[in-house]
């Protein structure tokens, strides 16, 4: 049976109490609307602060809460380490990256918590940064990255042998990062050449918004990942901004100070990449012309056109029906509050439930 949830990084808060409060005030409302008579999987964002606050008593309390409300932990978002809402994040969201011991310690702790917190899932994923932000990353960094990843994978293997629960690390390719395109992701796994006994414990978190921004084709991407034997540990169901021709000028109403909004623009010579919307705006001011542009800005997946421009909803329609039903799906529109006012007409819980219903309808469920 397909497992579908939403990621709690939609809600602000870095502490464990914030996680619990968000489940009470939002998560249960979403469950009532989407899964009133069946178990509901949870996709939790557990920040560094929350991870160190969890003790045996809090773990027991959470497990009891899950049993009471017919929920269970399915996946953890271990990508943002610290603050993720209400103040500028931009490229700092990738820090600490996989060159640091802090990322190793944090990820191991999340793995331990995954095993302790889940009540029903025999397999759990932890999504994480795509190695590092591309700017400033050097060829000489690769050996340290490999050592750190193998350290974590060995930990996951030991957890599996001890608990019977498979925890998979899911690297999440993203524009302007070391792992950006599917081609780079495949090359990464070939470069790392992980020991055979550890390969079970690593895969990718496929964020549909990110790969649509890269102008990738759904069927082609899946074919290539399968041929390279790369596991999709989970799919984040998300949609990006898309503008063609004169619509491109309308993209700048979505410029805001919190998140990085990478853009990829197409012209006859090929694709041009920009780390944020102001860079694209500067290129246009200098006279550059593009036929189409896509922007990393998570917009509601049930919308195919926003009025000023359209979205990459078409990618979801192409991609999701091709997936094996065993791959968990996690809706991740974390930027609702950063949308222009006319796109925030509904309460957040209603919008999240609407997204989940849209996926179910698409997949005939």
pLDDT in tens, 87-134: 888 999 999 999 999 999 999 999 999 999 999 989 999 999 999 999
pLDDT digits (tens, 9 = 90+) for 29-85: 999 999 999 999 999 999 999 999 999 999 999 999 999 999 999 999 999 999 887
> Domain limits of the chain?
4-240+311-362
Instruction: Please state, in angstroms and rounded to a whole number, the distance separating the CA atoms of residues 363 and 82.
Output: 35
The vertex-111 CA angle with 198 and 211, nearest 5°, equals 75
**DSSP-derived 3-state class of residue 255:** coil
Structure confidence at residue 338 (pLDDT)? 67
Strands 166-171 and 239-244: unpaired
Instruction: Please state, in angstroms and rounded to a whole number, the distance separating the CA atoms of residues 228 and 196.
Output: 14
Long-range CB pairs of 155-159 (<8 Å, 24+ gap) are 155/108, 155/111, 156/111, 156/198, 156/201, 157/197, 157/198, 157/200, 157/201, 159/111, 159/112, 159/115
Instruction: Please state, in angstroms and rounded to a whole number, the distance separating the CA atoms of residues 248 and 213.
Output: 14
Q: Tokens standing for 99?
A: 């060159």
Instruction: Tell me the average pLDDT across 2-26.
Output: 95
Kindly report the pTM of this predicted structure.
0.97
Q: The domain 4-240+311-362 is classified under which CATH number: 3.40.710.10, 3.20.20.140, 3.20.20.150, 3.30.470.20? A: 3.20.20.150
Distance of CA 134 to the CA centre of its chain: 18
């Amino acid at each position: 049976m397909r497992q579908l949830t939403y990621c709690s990084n939609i809600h602000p808060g870095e502490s464990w109490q914030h996680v619990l409060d968000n489940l009470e005030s939002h998560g249960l409302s979403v469950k009532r609307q989407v899964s009133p008579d069946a178990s509901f999987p949870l996709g939790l964002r557990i920040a560094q602060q929350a991870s160190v606050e969890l003790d045996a008593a809090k773990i027991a309390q959470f497990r009891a809460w899950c049993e009471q409300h017919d929920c269970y932990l399915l996946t953890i978002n271990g990508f943002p380490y610290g603050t993720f809402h209400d103040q500028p994040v931009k490229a700092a969201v990738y820090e600490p990256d996989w060159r640091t011991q802090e990322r190793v310690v944090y990820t191991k702790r999340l793995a331990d918590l995954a095993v302790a917190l889940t009540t029903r899932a025999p397999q759990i994923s932890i999504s994480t940064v795509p190695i590092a932000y591309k700017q400033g990353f050097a060829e000489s960094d690769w050996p340290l990255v490999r050592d750190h990843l193998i350290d974590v994978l060995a930990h996951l293997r030991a957890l599996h042998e001890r608990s019977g629960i498979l925890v998979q690390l899911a690297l999440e390719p993203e524009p302007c990062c070391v792992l950006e395109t599917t081609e780079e992701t495949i090359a990464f796994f070939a470069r790392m050449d992980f020991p055979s006994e550890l390969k079970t414990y690593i895969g990718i978190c496929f964020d549909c918004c990110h790969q649509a921004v890269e102008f990738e084709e759904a069927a082609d991407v899946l074919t290539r990942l399968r041929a390279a034997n790369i596991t999709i540990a989970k799919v984040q169901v998300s949609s990006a901004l898309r503008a063609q021709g004169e619509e491109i000028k309308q993209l700048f109403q979505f410029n805001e100070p919190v998140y990085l909004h990478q853009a990829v623009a197409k012209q006859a010579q090929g694709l041009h990449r920009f780390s944020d919307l102001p860079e694209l705006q500067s290129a246009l001011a200098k006279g550059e012309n593009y036929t189409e542009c896509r922007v990393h800005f998570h917009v509601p997946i049930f919308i195919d056109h926003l009025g000023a421009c359209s979205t990459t909803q078409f990618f979801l329609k192409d991609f999701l029906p091709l997936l094996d039903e065993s791959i968990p799906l996690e809706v991740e529109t974390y930027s609702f509050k950063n949308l222009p006012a006319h796109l925030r007409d509904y309460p957040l819980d209603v919008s999240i439930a609407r997204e989940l219903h849209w996926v179910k309808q698409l997949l005939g469920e």
